[in-house]
């Protein structure tokens, strides 16, 4: 939670705007909805880790306005994002692009799971190699045994 403290020190102190302002909202609800979705994946460049929708910083407001401007001009969502990235760098993307440089990040989960899965499987197989044969009690016998054991 310290981050929140840091954010607010960084963002709040300077400018007192509360995230998206009523005057920024677009007339067309469909466009506005798209703007909000785009805003969620764009990071406020000077904040700790807030998206531009949540941020109170001036630069976040600028970005929100840019996003809306591009949308009104008829850009598609990816075009808007490209436009922002071209000016502010990859840093503003909360979702790192699927590029060669980021491949390790994106493949980390599946690769870890695969390796871990293989190790677990080998472990389980080794553990079961000398497992005793299938439980030889029939259901009736088991019920009886349970009864005797008081469970």
The beta-carbon contacts of 83-88 under 8 Å, at least 24 apart in sequence, are 84/42, 88/45, 88/63
Smallest distance from another protein to CB 70, Å? 20
Distance CA 37, CA 95 (A): 13
Q: Which of residues 74 and 99 has its CB atom nearest to another protein in the complex?
A: 99
Distance CA 36, CA 25 (A): 10
What are the two backbone dihedrals, phi and then psi, of residue 42, each rounded to the nearest 5 degrees? -105, 135
Task: Extract the tokens encoding 77.
Answer: 């969502």
Q: Which single residue is written with the structure tokens 């993307």? A: 93
Q: Which of residues 13 and 30 has its CB atom nearest to another protein in the complex?
A: 13
Q: Which of residues 10 and 66 has its CB atom nearest to another protein in the complex?
A: 10
Q: Which of residues 27 and 74 has its CB atom nearest to another protein in the complex?
A: 27
Smallest distance from another protein to CB 79, Å? 18
Footprint of another protein (CB under 8 A)? 1-6, 8-9, 12-13, 16-23, 25, 40-41, 43, 48-51, 54, 89-96, 101-102, 104-106, 108-109, 112-113, 116-117, 120, 123-125, 127-132, 134-135, 151
What are the two backbone dihedrals, phi and then psi, of residue 72, each rounded to the nearest 5 degrees? -65, -35
What are the two backbone dihedrals, phi and then psi, of residue 131, each rounded to the nearest 5 degrees? -65, 145
């Amino acid at each position: 939670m310290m981050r929140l403290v840091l954010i607010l020190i960084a963002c709040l102190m300077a400018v007192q705007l509360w995230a998206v302002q009523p005057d920024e909202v677009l007339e067309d609800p469909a466009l506005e909805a798209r703007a909000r979705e785009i805003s969620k994946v764009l990071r406020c460049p000077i904040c700790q880790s807030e998206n531009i929708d949540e941020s109170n910083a001036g630069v976040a407001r600028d970005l929100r306005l840019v996003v809306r401007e591009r949308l009104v001009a008829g850009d598609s969502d990816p075009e808007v994002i490209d436009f922002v990235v071209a000016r502010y760098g990859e840093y503003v993307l909360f979702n790192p692009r699927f590029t060669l440089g980021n491949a390790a990040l994106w493949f980390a989960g599946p690769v870890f799971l695969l390796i871990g899965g293989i190790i677990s499987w080998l472990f389980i197989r080794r553990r079961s190699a000398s497992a005793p044969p299938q439980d030889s009690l029939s259901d009736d016998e088991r019920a009886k045994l349970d009864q005797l054991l008081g469970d």
